[in-house]
Structure 1
């Protein structure tokens, strides 16, 4: 008995898995897990600028000490140059701007080398005050030496005695020099001295904030 011959079925191509919303035959887009990274667009604020210019505190203090010493010497020479030592008693002329210049010099060095550091401004103020105080006392030592030298020349005894120098008065007779300066000082002297640290802080602040 013969069997009916059946035509073999053609193999069907495998269907691509599809999901809702995806057409047949197109693979799904891969979904990667994890939160998406933020895109840095224009909506984000720019980074904050640095607080101040970096500096070298040790170098700034060392340079400020040198500036204070030099400023104190200049202050002393100015005080001695404008003093009248030819009369019966020496007369000293005070200058307010001299202390301001010394303070500004110290403040400039502190700000230029130390950057924006308020602690260094305080150090500069102390050094400026010390410079003016040193200039006052050493200036009085120079005035005393000039006054004694003028008296010796007036009475013709300059070649017979050993006249003390400004260093002798400052180092060997500092206590007497300080007492004489304190008796001769008045309110204006202390006000002029106070202008020096104010000028130091003001100069350092303005220069650091440029």
Structure 2
């Protein structure tokens, strides 16, 4: 008398021929921590400089169109520069120092662009003629219009750039 063998039982093993596939009932391994960010000061500086140029132009156009200095826009200029530096440059402390300097320059150039736009409208000349050929007159007009609040906005823009660089790098 012959006895038949019991039917084969499924053996745990590779799923679909993949020896690394998850087995039924297995606990997945913990996820690896993200790779640490490397500081890239050159990229951070280029990003901050580009943001400073664009922000100065936009800020100047806003001043020229509204014929008013808008303080919160100066804060935005500083913050954008700081965030650009921190996001792309990482935690390098030099970026937190350079960002406020770029923000001060950007706000100043933006205010000069606004003054030139206002002056060009007043004397019926082109912006480029006023800004490039009569830059000394534009600076004198800026000095005449500057008040203590102007310098408060400079300080706040620098602080926003510093804090933006720190927060974005974290």
Name the TM-score class by shorter chain.
0.7 to 0.9
Matches within 5 A, 1:31-110: 53-83=37-67, 93-110=68-85
Matched, 1:182 2:166: no
Q: Please tell me whether residue 119 in structure 1 is matched to residue 94 in structure 2.
A: yes
Match of 1:29 in 2: none
Give the aligned partner of residue 116 of structure 2: 141
Query: TM-score when scaled to structure 2?
Result: 0.75
What is the match of residue 173 of structure 1? 134
> Within 1, Cα distance between the matches of 2:37 and 2:72?
30
Structure 2 gap segments, 5+ residues each: 1-35
Give the match for residue 132 of structure 1: 107
How far apart, CA to CA, are the structure 1 residues paired with 2:40 and 2:93?
Answer: 13
Structure 1 runs of 4+ with >3 Å offset: none
> How far apart in 2 are the matches of 1:55 and 1:167?
39
Aligned CA-pair RMSD: 1.5
* Matched positions, count: 136
Stretches of structure 1 that go unaligned for 5 or more consecutive residues are 1-51, 84-92, 150-163
Question: 2-side partners of 1:166 and 1:193: how far apart?
Answer: 24
Q: Which residue matches 1:199?
A: 160
Task: Give distance in 1, aligned partners of 2:137 and 2:65.
Answer: 22
TM-score by length of 1: 0.62
